[in-house]
Amino acid sequence: MTTHIVTGGSAGIGLAIARRMAQDGHDLVLVARNEEKLVMAATQIRALGVNCRTAALDVRDNDAVNQLVDELPEVDGVVNNAAGNFAKPTVELSLNGFRAVVEISLYGTFNFSTALARRLMAEQKSGAICNIITTYAWTGAPRVAHSAAAKAGMLAFTKSVAREWGPDGIRVNAVAPGFVATESAVSNILSAPGAAERMSQMIPLGRFAQAEEIAESVVFLQGDRSAYTTGAVLTVDGGRSLGMSMHQAEPVGT
Ligand code: HXC
């Protein structure tokens, strides 16, 4: 069986991904900043019968990422899920706020992807990378321009290194969720009264995703069932990014 790193793996979508991968028998390495949350998450994962290590580090720390990836006994893949985000009118966003979000999402992806690719190439071993972006990587979104810019960068990075590392047997894909009702996403992005209800009315399938529904796509892309898939983006957004119809002054379903 293979070993996969999941960044931001101690909660939300990352933990759901780790659980789903464990159910398929993959060993896991969970990465996040908070040690206590990592310990709790790893206990859940080990209960599913696989090995699970933890690493408390900041994905922005290139040296710490390289050291972790180099020192793992085995590693076959990484899921770049850790993301920075908060909603803010762009003219009010500080340079440091913009930088924090871009560095967590985009630089974090660069750090783990390159560390893994270097190791796999040295070992002449194949592997898989899955980057969690969002649909606003290509639609854009007001008040989260910092996150959209980072996710668009991740999308271009995904396709670029899929082409570059394909000959080395390293596949690189992305999953683009729409809105997923995790605790942190609801409190950070959709805290305004009625916002969650208004948004769900704009989704053809009429509801937000469960984190497990995102995890299902990730486990497919990280495993052998997608052996001929690289540079792909799997959109899992209930149809939201397909756009509004001419008649959509009325909510979907009416
Ligand atoms: C305005 C904020 C802010 C906020 C942080 N900053 N939170 N500005 N509003 N709510 C600013 C700070 O003021 C500071 O700038 C800069 O960001 C760095 O903040 P720090 O506190 O130093 O912490 P740091 O750890 O570097 O980063 C903060 C953070 C990060 C970016 C907020 O902790 C984080 O992203 N946490 C949330 C993680 C999360 O929820 N991820 C899931 C996202 S869900 P100044 O100028 O003051 O120094 C998602 C899906 C959306 O993305 C999909 C929808 C379809």
Q: How far is the CA of 147 from the centre of ligand 1 (A)?
A: 10
In a domain? residue 242:
no
Task: List the structure tokens of 31.
Answer: 């990465």
In a domain? residue 241:
no
The total of structural domains in the chain comes to: 1
In a domain? residue 224:
yes
In a domain? residue 35:
yes
Report the distance separating Cα 151 and Cα 149, nearest Å.
6
Report the distance separating Cα 151 and Cα 132, nearest Å.
8
In a domain? residue 245:
no
In a domain? residue 153:
yes
Ligand 1 atom at minimum distance from 147 CA: 52
Q: What is the CATH number of the domain that holds 169?
A: 3.40.50.720
Half-sphere exposure of 140 (CA within 13 A, CB side): 3
SS (H, E, C) 173-222: EEEEECCECCHHHHHHHCCCCCHHHHHHCCCCCCCCECHHHHHHHHHHHH
For ligand 1, is residue 236 a contact (CB within 6 Å)? no
In a domain? residue 55:
yes
pLDDT at 248: 57
In a domain? residue 208:
yes
Over residues 75-90, the pLDDT tens digits come to 999 999 999 999 999 9
Mark the ranges of the chain whose per-residue pLDDT is less than 70. 185, 188-189, 244-254
228 is catalytic: no
pLDDT at 249: 53
Report the distance separating Cα 113 and Cα 110, nearest Å.
5
pLDDT at 198: 86
> What's the sign of the alpha-carbon dihedral 134, 137, 142, 143?
positive
Residue nearest (by alpha carbon) to ligand 1 atom 14: 97
Q: Which domain holds residue 178?
A: 3-235
- Sheet with 77-80, edge to edge strand ranges: 52-56, 27-32, 3-7, 77-80, 127-132, 170-177, 233-236
pLDDT at 193: 85
